[in-house]
Chain A
């Protein structure tokens, strides 16, 4: 099975993210970078499928040269091939991104055969546009299901599962297909030391592609006001009991 996973380099979560003064970018001075969490899961799923069903995994990203770090990381956890669509560092809007990736997929498939499965993360961790996967699937004329938390195969048909209120929806989709994977589908592995060292030997193919911009443009980024939560200490030890009871009564719990 040939599987393609598309990933995006995003600031590592956990830190307060600052915005540059002109509001055009994230201030990366103190930031580490990672792969969007949904995409990490998509990659893990792809690697597990390839381990289970046989085949190989290609990882693709669109971004500046530094995004090679995320491709290497993918290789260190089991991706076999890596493709970078280099940009000049300017943010590409979803349509432009999707056009370039669709073109890349077309070219890759022309050279080496069709991908049976193309996995995206449900949405990126930074801009959260929910668009690129859908646009690519549409451009390629393939079925897509988003929010996927389980994938199985039987006779050239993929069953993809997603959560709904109170249960699951299961979609049977003929291959080749595109899925938007959601965090929780698996627990992504960490790279091993040997995996990291092996990843350095993976060749990163560079595909220079141009594509027209869509209608979406960044005006400026701004940080929302921080939600300050106030903590009231009701007391310590047994002395606090009265105040706790009062509060519970006030909340209608008691």
Chain B
């Protein structure tokens, strides 16, 4: 091996599936001068890759996880290091059978072949299964078993051959050094190891369960925790040995017991996600020398596994007499929200994270990070859900990581509703209006750390007034209330007040602020003081990175208003691009600002009673900012609407929030004012207007032309993604965002069903999947009732040539088909001329 280097362009820490695939992908993208380190020996340095069960079930409800799973499976296949064993998820309960229908729907969305099996059909594929304890199965022939260690070796060798990657095993990272960077930032500078120090331009942390510990050496965080997944290898059994194969039978996931049975030559691996969550601090993981097996194969704690043994024997009687030859408490990585940690760390420039990635998505996630480093954003898929910048500070501490990991570990095979809320670690950040909202019976949803009222029980009386009712099927009714639709109708008839204090509010100031703001935004920000700009921020490739509002609050100040789900990513994006001449100062004003939305035909009357200023469209023009005293409280009125009725976002100081809320409630009492939750703001009201939502319709895979957000002209100033944006305008859209109405919600059992906006596939009348010329599938990106249009509404993209108002399609939901019609391609289903906004 060559001499230990003192300098490198890139140092990758960790030679598991992720680190190896990363150097391979970076080499293919033209990176050179790279070093790969691991503290363990090769080819199995002792991390989670070494004990993985190595199988991939390609169907997931989450788009990133599903598509990167398929992408990864294909990379393993291309290297010939994969066998399609097939796999079956079996159901023991009716609730799980319903979930399998949902799996069929997601399989259709992602184009994965799948079918439902009767218990007898399951037994035909898996003759040793006890078909009497199951109700059916979900069979996916492309479930594969991969050789993750050999894949790592192949990718590492590829990088060695292509770029002269230097590899150092048995080399422990002792410290990460940083230097000061402009704007008060720090930048990675060197990796200190027991073999010497390497100065480096880029460092990538890909060392799995140790990632956070290593990140902390540089003052960064990678919010993950090592957690136990128990696995026992039992055998030998003749029926398995006779296959003369590593894997001859489909893998069985016994979903309701949170276990799997996976053949490994003559034995069966029984793995569990059912035991109590067992988390470890990284310091509790033994070194390679101290570990009896490997550091991440910790001593088995049999008491935690006994229930799973009984259930496994119940499903496959032959397992009872098989010997337990090997059993471990294997460590893997869990994050607070069950998604990976990818991208540049927010705390240290050029220090990247490629962590909390399992074998099943390793090669694909490595590709994401490699592309991110190369192109400024991933190309293979939008990765906002895995972006490490999504975490707020309150999500990065061990207390939060551990609590959330404990809560979701047992949901690994769980039936998780698209709107499912966390039980623990609530009330992390509360609005200044929180006490008022509690008194009004607010039903809170948590937006990352922010508690936001989804609806108010105090509005229950409106349900009867508007003749609304609960939904028929419990699943559709879960995390939902007819009060949402009632609040909506009252807002359209009278007026509603919405707590928007979870808005993330940033300020750019200084001599370079306006120019910098222009550089971030597609649309022109340099307009008169008091103007606003609703604009995308693009990735360098011209896809959506953000979608937000920028307010020209002063000659040298711009205020940025973005959503609670996007604040972390947007703040990081700003800081990443801040000019090095320090001509722009960034401030986060979120915790000092209270925002209340006031909308509805009676909003001007309510506000008019509290202020002397001219609230007409002349005095407070749509899109403009006006400073005003409301009930004596200094406020800024922003005439805008995300719900389709006239009104304002009213900003005031945090401490003034309650007084403002009370004043509005009192002034609105005679006008029928009601508090309105996010169910209307982000759901029904938005959907009726066809307003796009970041993370739903707006992802980096789509551009503003396709989303219908391209303005007639392009500004002269340069901005991130401009070249790609110009090209996209020139090329025209390959897909077009559409609003659909569901023509009939009745299912085969005569029940009314309501799509959840969980990637349900949009199909032709023949039931075929629809992909555009870029291979993007048509699917539901948002769904909600349109109470004022009297239809259930869906948003999604169609290939542009199919996107015509009135065109008929079908949507699949719970494996059934429902007829839908394109209601709008650009405008909105409700008040398409925006007369209500401008009245």
Contacts and interface: CB of A to CB of B under 8 A. Distances in A.
Interface of A: 12-16, 18, 29-33, 69, 72, 189-194, 196-197, 200
A194 B324 contact: no
B300 to A, nearest CB: 7
B323 A15 contact: no
A197 B292 contact: no
Nearest to A33: B299
A16 B289 contact: yes
Nearest to B293: A14
A196 B287 CA distance: 30
A192 B321 contact: yes
Nearest to A226: B289
Contacts of A33: 299
Interface residues of B, number: 27
Interface string B685-726: 000000000000000000000000000000000000000000
8 contacts: A14-B293, A30-B298, A190-B324, A193-B309, A193-B320, A193-B324, A194-B313, A196-B302
Contacts of B306: 196-197, 200
A15 B289 contact: yes
Interface in B270-294: 284-287, 289-293
A13 B309 contact: no
B292 A189 contact: no
A253 to B, nearest CB: 29
B324 A191 contact: yes
A30 B309 contact: no
Contacts of A191: 323-324
B234 interface: yes
B419 interface: no
Contacts of A72: 302
Nearest to B312: A193
A30 B302 CA distance: 16
A164 B299 CA distance: 37
Contacts of A29: 284, 286
Contacts, number: 66
Nearest to A191: B324
Given A192-B321, A194-B321, A196-B306, A32 B292 contact: yes
B300 A32 contact: yes
A30 B283 CA distance: 10
B655 interface: no
Given A29-B284, A32-B299, A193 B293 contact: no
Interface in B318-340: 319-325
Given A15-B289, A15-B291, A30-B286, A193 B322 contact: yes
B385 to A, nearest CB: 35
Taking each of A12, A29, A190, which has the highest tally of chain B beta carbons within 10 Å of its own beta carbon? A190
A196 B308 CA distance: 12
Nearest to B1: A233
A30 B325 contact: no
A197 B320 CA distance: 9
Contacts of A194: 313, 320-321
A5 to B, nearest CB: 20
Contact of B290 (A13, A18, A69, A197): A18
B323 A196 contact: no
A196 B290 contact: no
B235 to A, nearest CB: 10
Given A194-B313, A196-B306, A197-B309, A15 B234 contact: no
B582 interface: no
Interface in B243-302: 284-287, 289-293, 298-300, 302
Contacts of A30: 284-286, 290-291, 298
Contacts of A12: 292, 299
A201 B491 CA distance: 65
Nearest to B313: A193
B324 A13 contact: no
Given A15-B292, A192-B323, 4 more contacts: A18-B290, A32-B300, A197-B306, A197-B310
A190 B325 contact: yes
Nearest to B321: A192
Nearest to A11: B292
Nearest to B318: A193
A196 B309 contact: yes
Taking each of A16, A29, A200, which has the highest tally of chain B beta carbons within 10 Å of its own beta carbon? A16
A192 B322 contact: yes
B292 A192 contact: no
A190 B302 CA distance: 14
Contacts of A192: 234, 320-324
Contact of A189 (B232, B300, B313, B323): B323
B280 to A, nearest CB: 10
B292 A14 contact: yes
B312 to A, nearest CB: 7
Contacts of B234: 192-193
Nearest to B235: A190
Nearest to A29: B284
Taking each of B287, B292, B306, which has the highest tally of chain A beta carbons within 10 Å of its own beta carbon? B292
A18 B290 CA distance: 8
Contact of B324 (A15, A16, A196, A200): A196
A192 B324 CA distance: 6
- Lowest 9 A-B CB distances belong to which pairs? A32-B299, A30-B286, A190-B323, A14-B292, A16-B289, A194-B320, A15-B292, A193-B309, A30-B290
Contacts of B290: 15-16, 18, 30
Contacts of A31: 292, 299
B129 to A, nearest CB: 16
Taking each of A190, A193, A200, which has the highest tally of chain B beta carbons within 10 Å of its own beta carbon? A193
Contacts of A16: 287, 289-290
